[in-house]
Every structure is written in structure tokens, then in C-alpha cells.
Structure 1
Amino acid sequence: MRPINFGAGPSALPDSVLQEACKGLLDFKGTGIGVAEISHRSKEFTSLVAELENNIRSQLDVPPTHKIIFTQGGGTGQFSAVVLNMLARHRLLYPDLSDEQRVMDYVITGSWSKKAAEEARRVGGGASVHVAVDARKDSKPFDGIPAHKDFSFSADPALIYYCENETVDGVQFSNNPDSPASFPFHLLSEGRKGLLPLVGDHSSSFMSRKIPHLADHAVIFAGAQKNIGPAGLTILIVRQDCVVDVDAAAKLGAAPVPITMSFKAIADAGSLYNTPSTLPLYIASLVLERSKGLGGVEYFEIINGKKAGKVYAALKEGEEKGVFRSKVREGSGSWMNVVFDVLGDNAESKFLASAESQGMKALKGHRSVGGIRISLYNAITEEQTDKVVAYMKEFIAQNS
């Protein structure tokens, strides 16, 4: 049997998808040519891209106001691309503003949103970065979603960025609108005119559950290597008013946008401006076709909720027995990445070694924070989750 890959990314893929992908590496859609060799301009491959787009659109209920485009560079690439495209849009809307008058709002709830804000400062020219909220208090680690009253958004920013799920820190916005850990969408509409420049980084939760207020977003982006496919593919959902002529904006003083980062260049070419990541696109199409057969995002939302509930229950039991310590406040915990410490001398090494001996791999936390991280992406089944839960309970019994 294959070991269970609880890694945070590149992460597990369904066995059935991997088996089908092996066939496509030799013969893609009856062409006799492998998918990693075939022309991205061929009718077989262009139809695959269209099928993948349709699967995302139908399963997430993406409205016709938004385009779906595929590119490269991962979520980190979008830290730069989003800034450049959204500042170009802002320049076209407000050509008379100086660079210093342009503001970008960043919601900082973990390591990735912190990095996104740092990149905005680096490539944003003279535009300023306004931190709408910072979840850290007294220099402590990121451990939860701030209260709604702590958020402070600018009046007319070029963009408002948030990271829906923080892979490193195990913090995620709640999908329950009544939860104090939900994203404060209601604050964005107060006294504001026009379309929201809201940017959602959904890299580590994309297709794991519905996206609240999807139609209100200007941009949603996600790297594929968590729930969708291999690394090398990035998926964007971009509202059409944000697909702007970046060259026209540059003539007005905006920073030039590299052609491979221009939303308009990619969208106009049907995501085939240059050679795309053909194999990741193919595997993503297989994953999304499988998802459709299972019931789509609604199915995974139910299953993922159950999986997370089981792991958090075992974690709470371990806390009560003095064996584990959660890194995240209750209510702010991620469904995708459950993070905690194992208490005691050499206890963490013991936990990891024993888990690996039982076929459960990649449970070590991110190098920047340490501890344990159990990633529960779509490809991790409920049965596999039950196995790690049983192991956690066995470890608690032996060490409490």
C-alpha cells in the first residue's frame, strides 16, 4: 500500500487520477502522443482547457461577469501580478492621482499574507500599503482571525487583499457568516461606491468548499498543488473590469506589467499566450472531472468538515491530557492544515517517527514554526483521516 501523504504541498492526489494520468502520458485522447509532448495549440488540448474551465465555473457557480484564466508562477507569482494589474486598473480609473495617493489594503493573518504585503511594498511603486488588520498581538505568532471591530479598510484602495487559509499557521476564515472568525464582508460595503477591488488568495483551500461572496471579488487566485493538481499551474477567477489594458495604463504613468503577468494578455489568448503547464492542466482536469462525479464542491465541503472535526476533537482530547497544544485559537482553525505542538522532551520526534512507521508521512510542521501539521486536502479520504485520528488517540493514551 502507498503511504498516506499528509504533506502541505505539493500534496496528495487521488490514486485513480494518477493511474489515468499515466495513460495520458503515453497517449492523450487517442492521439498516440503523450500530454506532456502534444502541442498546446492542438484541438485536443484546447478542448481540455475549455473543459477544465467549465468544471470550475459550474462547481463554484462562477458568474459570467468573471473570466477564468490559467497561468504559471504559483500564488507567490500573483503577489506581484495582482499588485501590477490592480494598480493599472486604478490608474485608468483615477489618472490624476499621484502615486502617493494610491493605497493597497492588506489583511494580515499569517505568514503568506505577510509575504504578500511585503511584495506589494516592493513592486507597488509609490503606492502605500495600508494594513487593514494584523492578527499578531504583542509580537506573538499568528494564532487566529481578528475580531471584526479590529478591521479598518481604506476609502478607495486599489485592492483589498486577504488570504483565506494560512497554510503555515493553520489559520482560516470561517465559512459560517455568523462566526466572529468569518471575513467581514459587511464592512466593505459600508459607505463604498462601485465594484469592490477585493482579492482573495485561496491557494490552499480552492475547491475544498464554496467561496463566500465570490461574485463580489475582483480576483481570486490559487496555486494548484493543494487540492487540484501538481505544482506549476495557477488558477485565476478575474472580474472582467479588472482585465484592463495595462499598456494604456503605462502611458498614464503606471508601472509596465510583464506580458506573462498581464491578465488581459492571458485572457485574450484563452490562457494559451505562451506554452502553458500542460501536464498540470491535464491532471487538474482529471481531478475536477472526478470531483464532478462525486458531487462537486458541495460533496467536499461536507467531507472536509467531517475530517477536520475528527482531527480537532482528537487534538482537544490531547490538550486535556497534556500531550498536545494547539497553535490556533478555537474557531479560527483551518480545515486544510491542523497545526499543534507535541509536549515533552523529544516527544515530537517520537510522534513523527512512529507515524511514519505506520505509513503516515509528511506530518512535520513548516520549518518556520515547527510542530506538527496535518494537511487534509481533498485527496485525503475520511478513512485516511480516521487512521491519523486513531494514531493521535493511541499516542495520547501512551503518553498522558
Structure 2
Amino acid sequence: MPRVINFGAGPSALPDSVLHEAALGLLDFNGTGIGIAEISHRSQEFAAFLDEVESLIRTQLDVPSTHSILFTQGGGTGQFSAVVLNLLARHRLLHPNLADDEPVMDYVLTGAWSRRASDEARRLGGGRVHVAADARLHSRNFDHIPTHDQYEFSPNPALIYYCDNETVDGVQFSADPASPASFPFHLLPQGGLLPLVGDHSSSFMSRPIPRLADHAVVYAGAQKNIGPAGLTILIVRKDCLVDVDAAAKLGAFPVPLTMSYKSMAGSSSMLNTPSIFPIYVSGLVLRRMQELGGVQHYEQFNKRKAEKLYAAIHEGEEKGLLKARVQEGSRSLMNVVFDVLSDEAKFIAGAEAKGMKAIKGHRSVGGIRVSLYNAVTEEQVDAMVAYIREFIET
């Protein structure tokens, strides 16, 4: 049976060549005679492979030596909690005399995931959540990135959180610093090391990360652009690898060892058994990426795919049959969301009949969502574009 085109938002498509190679690795990993799903994470062979995966990320994203790369579990949702606990601990060590309710955590709300991250910060407590910007203040829905005049950052926050790409709502910060939809780095508090946290789960390795060196933490689930679910990759500035037990003695929340960045770094991401198979597949994908030109290649590749799809949606808008959900300038290169104004069920059924799967929008918002992660080919996007044009002409 031929493989279908997977436009799912995650777990998402992976390159066919990598899947074939990974299948062989399940039987024999790097000539060891042991499959990758069976081999010890303490073995020399796996340790060497993990070092290679770190090097591939560091090279392609130009990660500075001031930052550690960690491999853990729990996904983006796990990091909603971990970043709060670790950065509140760091803030407590820097400001030991603050009252418990004095630390401020800044959140930029641009969609469902940043909203959930802020909800988790409120649930955990340990400080006050300050909404530095909220796209809904000027629109009923998350249909755009706030312009720079809509931000108000705290002078000395414990953390500043943003989500680069919102998979549910289809909005993404622009990589062009001149764009009003870019992240306003110039408005951040001046002086000292910024506690900036970037959730890059659904855009990781799809393009360079602007001002990466200025981030305290960047995190991403692997299951969008580089691997299967079960692996979370962290890029953590070394001043954020703090002694969470010392912070707890000063009044900070105790941090579980599996969430302590310092503990993870000290054990070379081997505090417990890591997600061996997802790490393996991600490493194969990253090797292939480097051969093709790295994130710079994929940035242009993904732009071309998105431009083709948005152009087809615009044609449907002119005929009164489709409607883009996101304002121009804020539209995601990864998750293209739109409404079918005539017969959504017919549109989905027609796409599935042509082998194009997983285009139904998130259950919370409905509509159509076509995800264009790295492994989605230009030919597959062309097939979707042709189908949209066929749909709006009939």
C-alpha cells in the first residue's frame, strides 16, 4: 500500500530515507549486533551517537559555548513547569530577600500554547504572572502577533516567556527584525543576563533562532521537525544551571531531579534512561539536514512551500469559498490554518481520497490545518495546492 501524505501537526511526517535507515537500526545499531531499542544508554556506542546529535544541533543553530544542550522527556507541557521551577530558583538565588509573591513572570500570549504555559505558571505559584502582551486585546481570536507598541515587560522578571510558533492558531513570529510581527528584543529589560524563554517546539530546526545567545532557555519537542514523540531538546544558558536545593533553602519551590537543569547537565542527560529511539531517529534526521544545507536551506524551502499554499488559499478567498484565519505578516510557515466556507466535510473527504491525511483543525478551534514541517516535500505541497484549486473550481 503506498504511503499517504501526512500533513498532521504532530507527530508529523519524517523523511522516507530516515525511516528505512531507522528500521535497519532496530535490528543492528552501528554494527553492534544490538538493536537501537535494546542497547544500553550507558554503552560507548550510544554515548558517541548522543555527542554527535548535540554537535549537529550546535553546529546548525550556531549554539554558543555559553549554552548547554540537554535531552529530556515530558514535551513542551513538561517544560511549562520546568522553566518556572528552574528560573524561579535562579531568581531566588539572585534575590534571596524577596517575598514569596514578589517575583514576576512575564508571558507573551499569542495562542493556545502560550496561554496554557501562563496558566501553568499561575497554578504553580511562586510569583505573579504578568501578561506582557496579549494578541486578543485587539482581536477576538489569536489571529496575529502583537505589534511592538503593545508590549510592556517588567523591569526585573524571573522569566520572560514566548512561543515562537502556535500550532493550534497558526501564528508565528517573523524572523525579519524589521517586521512589526517580529519578537521585540529591543524592548526587553536592559542590563544583565535576560531570563528569556523561547518555546520553539513546532519551529525547531526549521529556520535559525533569532538572538539565540540572548535566551536563557530554548526548548522543543522533537515530534514536529526532527523525530518521533518522546524527546524534548533544551538549550540552556549555563547561568541557569542553578543549585535548586540551595534555592529551596532560601524559600524557592523544591524542584524534582528530573526537572532540574543542573542535574540533567551534570549527568550528561543520563540522569535516567533517555528516549533512546527518538534520539536515534532525530540524529539521522539531523545528519540528513546538515548534508542538505542545514537550517538555512530549510528556511528557504519552508518559505516556498508556505507561499504556494497561502497563494492557493487567497484564490479561494477571492471566490468566497475559503478564508485564512491569520492576518498577513503573522502567518505560520509550519501550520497553515483556514476555513472552508462551503462544505468542510466535503473538503476533508476529498483530500483523504487523494491520499492527503490529518488536515482537520485542532479540536478546540476546528477548520483546516495543513502542517508543512521539514519532511513535507514541495511535491506534496503542490498536490495540496492542486487539490485546493480543483475544489474551488467545482
TM-score (normalizing by structure 2): 0.99
Structure 2 residue 384 is the aligned partner of structure 1 residue 383: no
* Residue of structure 1 in register with 2:46 after alignment: 45
After superposition, residues 154-165 of structure 1 pair within 5 angstroms as: 154-165=154-165
Contact in 2 for aligned 1:259/1:265 (Cα 8 Å): yes
SS at match of 2:179: coil
Report the alpha carbon displacement of residue 137 of structure 1 after superposing the two structures with TM.
Answer: 3.2
Structure 1 counterpart of 2:105, one-letter code: M
SS in 2 for 1:313: helix
What residue number does 2:56 align with?
55
Where do residues 1-400 of structure 1 align in structure 2 (5 Å cutoff)? 1-125=2-126, 127-137=127-137, 140-189=140-189, 192-344=190-342, 347-398=343-394
Deviation at 1:266, TM superposition (A): 0.5
One-letter amino acid of the structure 1 residue matched with residue 383 of structure 2: K
**Secondary structure, aligned partner of 1:297:** helix
- Structure 1 CA distance for aligned equivalents of residues 313 and 231 of structure 2: 33
In the TM superposition, what is the alpha-carbon distance from 1:228 to its structure 2 partner?
1.0
How many angstroms apart in 2 are the aligned matches of 1:35 and 1:155? 48
Q: Distance in 1 between matches of 2:116 and 2:290?
A: 34
Indicate the SS of the match to 1:137: helix
Give the counterpart letter for 1:133 in structure 2: A
What SS is found at the alignment partner of 1:100?
Answer: coil
Q: Which runs of 5+ in 2 are unaligned?
A: none
Code of the residue aligned with 1:167 in structure 2: it is T
RMSD of aligned alpha carbons: 0.8
Contact residue 260 and residue 266 of structure 1 kept, 8 A: yes
Corresponding letter in the other structure for 1:385: V
Provide the rounded CA distance (Å) in 2 between the counterparts of 1:33 and 1:269. 24
Task: Give me the whole-angstrom Cα distance separating, in 1, the residues matched to 2:139 and 2:372.
Answer: 29
Question: 1:138 offset after TM fit, Å?
Answer: 6.6
Per-residue deviation, residues 29-65 of structure 1 (Å, max 9, x unmatched)? 1111111111000000001110000000000000000
Give % identity: 70
Q: Residue 26 of structure 1 contacts residue 33 of structure 1 at CA under 8 Å; is this kept in 2?
A: yes
CA positional deviation for 1:202? 0.2
| Separation of aligned partners in 2, 1:196 and 1:137 | 26
CA distance in 1, matches of 2:259, 2:179: 36
CA distance in 2, matches of 1:360, 1:139: 32
How far 1:124 moved relative to its partner?
2.9
**Does the Cα contact within 8 Å between 1:84 and 1:124 map onto a contact in 2?**
no
Q: Aligned partners of 2:174, 2:139: CA distance in 1, in Å?
A: 24
Partner Cα separation in structure 2 for residue 65 and residue 290 of structure 1 = 26
Q: Which runs of 5+ in 1 are unaligned?
A: none
Distance (Å, rounded) in 2 between the aligned partners of 1:180 and 1:312: 20
How many residues in Structure 1 have an aligned counterpart in Structure 2? 393
Letter in 1 for 2:109: I
Q: For 1:138 and 1:107, how far apart are their aligned partners in 2?
A: 14
- For residue 165 of structure 1, report the CA deviation from its aligned partner: 0.2
Runs of 4+ in 1 over 4 A off after TM superposition: none
